[in-house]
Structure 1
Amino acid sequence: MAERVRIAVIDSGVYPVHPHIVAARILPGVAIAADGTIAYGPEKATDQLGHGTAVTAAIQELAPDADVLPIRVFQGALRASARALVTAIVWAAEQRADVINCSLGTPNATHAALFDDAVARIGAARLVAPLVGGDDAPCWPGQCAGVVAVGLDWDMPRGVARLDGGVWYAAGYPRPIPGVEQLRNLHGVSFATAQISGLIAAGRLD
């Protein structure tokens, strides 16, 4: 039997009992502190903010049979250090992740070399990240060579992607909730990134 695709989700963790989450496909995760320290344990990757759970749900909607490895880098707010991110990227590759979803990044170009080094160490894993941030500023690791760069296109339907100039574009809507109107999210590129990761994991993108 072929092994299932493994997707690492670098975010705020996941809340496994959420109704949109396929709990049977959630692997034991970790939390990574600002200094790069890795904390192991059954509760370390539990989401306290909701963002990682929503991103994971968007991925699982498109790739429900993939295994998800949550890596928590957001603690009390949606902020993480460059050291935490590069540690998460390298650790995910060491855990044999096929796809590494990083729905976040930094506009600080002084960290570019740090991210370039991390990307060079991930082997065959495919790192998926936003090319630019919410203010259209260049964003790392999405700017690194070899990364699957993602852009946001609100006019696209969910579950599809288009390639333009080496960048994959997708819609920014999270997984829909029945009876609740779909609204634009401030961090729409987070969910565009999740959709690209899900499509890659499902074998629907080259």
Structure 2
Amino acid sequence: MSDPATGRGIRIAVIDSGVHPQHDHIDASRLLPGASIGGNGTIGTAPEDTLDRLGHGTAVTAAIQEKAPEAFCMPIRVFHDGLKTTGYALITAIDWAIAQGADIINLSLGSTNPAHAPAFAATVERACHAGSIVVAPRAVEDTPCYPGALDGVLSVCLDWDCPRATYRPAPDGSGQFFASGFPRPIPGVPLRRNIHGISFATAQMAGFAACALEGLDTTDRSHGRIEAVRAALCG
């Protein structure tokens, strides 16, 4: 019997509020240098630029590392004073992740404004062409969320009944995936008292995708890479 996949060597960009490397749930040895993206697209790459002051990015990164402990996580901070940023900052962050050779780009966030869809679609196309797989929420409370609702994205839906240790493909063959919205547990804290939701379903799916990608020919950064991962996840 082969050893279980751990995401070994896979590079995951985590576009969020940064990361706190000293947190008990974070393996700092698996963190790559990252960046901070301002609302106007300015980029900072000093080590302190990616320090999480909100907690969301740290919890998301912890959920990814739990599922893919040997992957490398690259924090890209777009949330600064609160969990809000601009579409321009998100597109800049995705393009920066592509340029750094990210295998997977985790977006535990998105925009419900359909006016942003064309610009996100162009960015997703650039990611697909480079072999970077964007993982993002399909919807927020039944409202389509971009870029997660677009073709070329590994779209994630929330399933509160799905065990945290696994996921399930959409039964209609649409290529979407369902995962639990509960984060990595904190001892003594009830799951629903901790932050939870689609952010963590997305993060856990990014970890599962990294483990699937580990078993594929990762030198092939073709446009069809996401389909190979979808097939592996459904296998």
Shorter-chain TM-score range: over 0.9
Residue aligning to 1:205: 233
Residue 163 (str. 1) matches residue 169 (str. 2): yes
- What CA distance in whole angstroms lies between the structure 2 residues aligned with 1:152 and 1:159? 14
Residue 186 of structure 1: how far off its partner (Å) = 6.5
Aligned counterparts, 1:121-136, within 5 A: 121-122=126-127, 123-133=130-140, 135-136=141-142
What is the match of residue 28 of structure 1? 33
Identical amino acids, percent of aligned pairs: 54
SS at 1:155 equivalent: coil
Q: Which has the larger radius of gyration?
A: 2
Alignment TM-score, normalising by the size of structure 1: 0.95
What 5-or-longer segments of structure 2 have no aligned partner? 1-7, 213-231
Q: Deviations over 1:72-112 (max 9, x none)?
A: 00010000100010111111011011010000000100111
Alignment match, 1:139:
145
Which secondary structure state, in structure 2, belongs to the residue aligned with residue 69 of structure 1? strand
Q: Name the Cα RMSD after superposition.
A: 1.4
1:151 is aligned to 2:179: no
Equivalent residues, number:
203
Q: Which has the higher helix share?
A: 2
Structure 2 matches for 1:1-206, cutoff 5 A?
4-122=9-127, 123-133=130-140, 135-164=141-170, 165-183=174-192, 188-203=197-212, 205=233
Query: Does the CA-based 8 Å contact 1:26-1:69 persist in structure 2?
Result: yes
TM (norm. structure 2) is: 0.83
SS in 1 for 2:105: strand
